[in-house]
Amino acid sequence: MPIGCPECDATITAAVPPGPGLVADREPTRLRGTETTCRNCGHELELYFY
C-alpha cells in the first residue's frame, strides 16, 4: 500500500496484512496497527487498519 511521508513527501510502500475489513458483527476493538520507517528521511510512521 503506497502512503506519503508527512515529513518529506516521499512515497513509502507499507505492507498491511489481509483482514476482514469492516464487518458489522465483529467486536469494536478490531483496529490493528503497524509501524514503518521512511527510507528517505527516517521518519517513523504508524499505520492503523481494520
Q: Kindly report, residue by residue over 12-44, the tens digit of the pLDDT.
A: 888 877 766 666 666 666 778 888 899 999 999
pLDDT at 9: 92
Closest C-alpha among 14, 6, 2, 3 to residue 41: 6
pLDDT at 24: 61
Domain coordinates of the chain in residue numbers?
A: 2-49
Q: Whole-prediction pTM value?
A: 0.62
pLDDT at 47: 87
